[in-house]
Amino acid sequence: MIFTVAVDGPAAAGKGTISKALADRFGLAHLDTGLLYRAVGAKGGDPVAAAQGLTPADLARDDLRSLAAGEAASKVAAIPAVRAALTQFQRDFARREGGAVLDGRDIGTVICPEAAVKLFVTASAEVRAHRRWLEVGGDAAQVLAEVVARDERDMGRADAPLKPAADAVMVDTSELSIDEAVAQAAALVAARLG
């Protein structure tokens, strides 16, 4: 069975948590595509060469969830040649036998426009900044400013900007618990699986 679930949305909206839960619940493989970009950004040097030479060890780094890696990811993701180098890897993963859940920013619009289920997970910038602040600490106002700046970069880039697919179902997690958000998404996947 080839069954793809595309989960898109901005930073700290809950797409990773929801995606992992869906993969576990339905026995699907999971790919956090943001880790690919974080790994490319964290490698440093020429981003295109880094994307073309990405290894499993690069994806296993323990600093990929840092604010710095997130900022680097957002910057290298705006480079068309980096995106091109990582696109086929993501598409191959999505078409694996047994099904897959991919989360990122352009899964439903660019990587897997034919996905069986497309979700766009979002929350207010303030809620997302608070979640990120709980995760990484620091100055709360600075974290909010970084979230807003990242949104602008991700939504404003010329190549594969962050936006919901026309047929994506919106899941606003601003006022939902994790369990409520996962239940809402799981119901949509279950309905498509029949």
DSSP string, 90-106: HHHHHT-TT-EEEEESS
Q: Work out the mean pLDDT of the chain and round it to a whole number.
A: 93
The domain spans of the chain are 4-193
pLDDT band at 9 (very low <50, low <70, confident <90, very high): very high
Q: Is 138 annotated as a binding residue?
A: no
Q: Is 56 annotated as a binding residue?
A: no
Element (DSSP H or E) covering residue 32: strand 29-32
- Residue 114, Cβ neighbours under 10 Å: how many? 10
Non-local (6+) Cβ contacts of 106 within 8 A are: 8, 160, 161, 162
Asked whether the CA dihedral 59, 60, 64, 65 is positive or negative, the reply is positive
Q: What pLDDT was estimated at residue 65?
A: 85
Q: Is 94 annotated as a binding residue?
A: no
Q: Are strands 29-32 and 100-104 parallel, antiparallel or unpaired?
A: parallel
Alpha helices in the chain (DSSP H): 15-26, 33-43, 47-52, 56-59, 67-76, 80-94, 125-136, 140-156, 178-193
Single out the residue of 9, 14, 33, 25 nearest to residue 188, CA to CA.
Answer: 25
Q: What pLDDT was estimated at residue 157?
A: 83
| C-alpha span between 30 and 94 (Å, rounded) | 9
Q: Is 57 annotated as a binding residue?
A: no
Q: What pLDDT was estimated at residue 154?
A: 86
Q: Is 81 annotated as a binding residue?
A: no
pLDDT band at 66 (very low <50, low <70, confident <90, very high): confident
Q: Is 161 annotated as a binding residue?
A: no
The arithmetic mean of pLDDT across residues 105-114, rounded, is 95
Q: What pLDDT was estimated at residue 20?
A: 97
Q: Which class in CATH covers the domain with range 4-193?
A: alpha beta
Q: What pLDDT was estimated at residue 51?
A: 95
Fill in the amino acid letter for 5: V
Single out the residue of 124, 104, 123, 126 nearest to residue 115, CA to CA.
Answer: 104
pTM score of the predicted model:
0.87
pLDDT at 5 over 90: yes
The arithmetic mean of pLDDT across residues 168-184, rounded, is 97
In degrees and rounded to multiples of 5, residue 180 shows phi and psi of -65, -40
